[in-house]
Amino acid sequence: METPSTNEIRFLQATEMGLGAWSWGDRIMWNYGHGYSDDDIRAAFDVSVEEGIRFIDTAESYGNGRSERLLGQFIKESQQAVLVATKFTPYPWRLNKKLLLNAIEHNLERLGMDSVDLYQIHFPFPFTSIETWMDGMAEAVNRGLTRAIGVSNFNQSQMLRAYSALAQKNIPLASNQMHYSLLDRSIEKNGILARCKELGIRLIAYSPLEMGLLTGKYSTENPPAGLRGRRYGSLLTKLPALLKLMTEIGQDQGGKSLVQIALNWCICKGTLPIPGAKTAEQAQQNAGAPGWRLTEDQVNALDETSDLLG
């Protein structure tokens, strides 16, 4: 397989951690507007950027475009240099590349930008070929609308098809954004992570705190509200052993929090975690995750305990 030029995607390899903006405007999963406001989100943005977290992930579907609008507004008002990643949703009625090119114009309009750093396809869609989407993506690069191309939720064969389609146009596949945390290690076990490393595709780890479970604030007595509570009910019973080990490792690391251990573990595994943050406090704590490393023994101990959760 021909290896495409990697110059355009160096910024992703150089980024240790980012910030996820799904909760910025989303009511269905995150209950936006209840318990946190636009001011809190703005503070999360400001603190992250001040602390050097300058890669922010959003999507056209987050809050029906509200996440992109808020991000664009914050960047404009703060005049800060931020790397922006957003996503194309392959809705069933979007069946050709023209509709992708049309969609990216709308992403850019909401963000108030002429181009983004990374444009990702949110998930594969069975009725439109991966080659069709990659054709549209390549055209978006050629038109200067995005600097790099990524996929998300693509399994290994889908990712390789995207990689090959782009390689024929000498464009690298920059990233695959996948679920990855101490509570979901599928990409380690099914070979996707190893394949990404081999091909120079950055594995962007989403939900690295398992939607808040790895912060230690949720338990069987205090489950997260709404859809998250329903999704994670049974997992909460298995959590205490892992949280205890994370607490001990945090103490051995000079007082790192559970959040910092969970995110640093993702970094140690060679992925780029993008934890969500709704408030300045959350952003501040998350920003303490990069810049240092767990020891090999600590990573192994976390792996062993996470394996026991089955």
Ligand X SMILES: NC(=O)c1ccc[n+]([C@@H]2O[C@H](COP(=O)([O-])OP(=O)(O)OC[C@H]3O[C@@H](n4cnc5c(N)ncnc54)[C@H](OP(=O)(O)O)[C@@H]3O)[C@@H](O)[C@H]2O)c1
Alpha-carbon distance values, 55 to 36, 153, 192, 231, 275 (Å): 22, 19, 23, 28, 11
Q: How far is the CB of 5 from ligand X (least distance, A)?
A: 26
Q: How far is the CB of 278 from ligand X (least distance, A)?
A: 5
Q: Which residue is nearest to ligand X (CB)?
A: 20
The secondary structure element, H or E, covering residue 57 is: strand 55-57
Q: Are 187 and 178 in contact (CB under 8 A)?
A: yes
Residue 90 touching ligand X (CB under 6 A):
no
Q: Are 54 and 46 in contact (CB under 8 A)?
A: no
Q: Are 242 and 306 in contact (CB under 8 A)?
A: yes
Burial classification of residue 177, based on how many CB atoms lie within 10 Å of its CB (0-12 exposed, 13-18 middle, 19 or more buried): buried
Total residues binding ligand X (CB under 6 A): 28
Alpha-carbon distance values, 274 to 5, 11, 17, 162, 288 (Å): 25, 15, 6, 22, 13
Active site residues: 62
Taking the least distance from each CB to ligand X, the nearer of 105 and 281 is 281
Residue 86 touching ligand X (CB under 6 A):
no
Taking the least distance from each CB to ligand X, the nearer of 11 and 169 is 11
Q: Are 257 and 18 in contact (CB under 8 A)?
A: no
Residue 247 touching ligand X (CB under 6 A):
no
Taking the least distance from each CB to ligand X, the nearer of 143 and 217 is 217
Taking the least distance from each CB to ligand X, the nearer of 3 and 46 is 46
Q: Tell me how far apart the alpha carbons of residues 288 and 28 are, in angstroms, rounded to a whole number.
A: 29
- Name 152's bridge partners: 177
Q: How far is the CB of 123 from ligand X (least distance, A)?
A: 6
Q: From its phi and psi, is residue 226 left (phi > 0), alpha (psi between -120 and 50) or beta?
A: left
User: By CB under 6 A, what part of segment 144-163 binds ligand X?
Assistant: 152-153
Residue 274 touching ligand X (CB under 6 A):
yes
Q: Which one of 184, 210, 287, 289 is in contact with ligand X (CB under 6 A)?
A: 210
Q: How far is the CB of 56 from ligand X (least distance, A)?
A: 8
- Build a one-symbol-per-residue string for 284-303: x at contacts with ligand X by CB under 6 A, - elsewhere: -xx-----------------
What are the residues binding ligand X (CB under 6 A)? 20-23, 57, 122, 152-153, 177, 206-212, 215, 217, 224, 259, 274-278, 282, 285-286
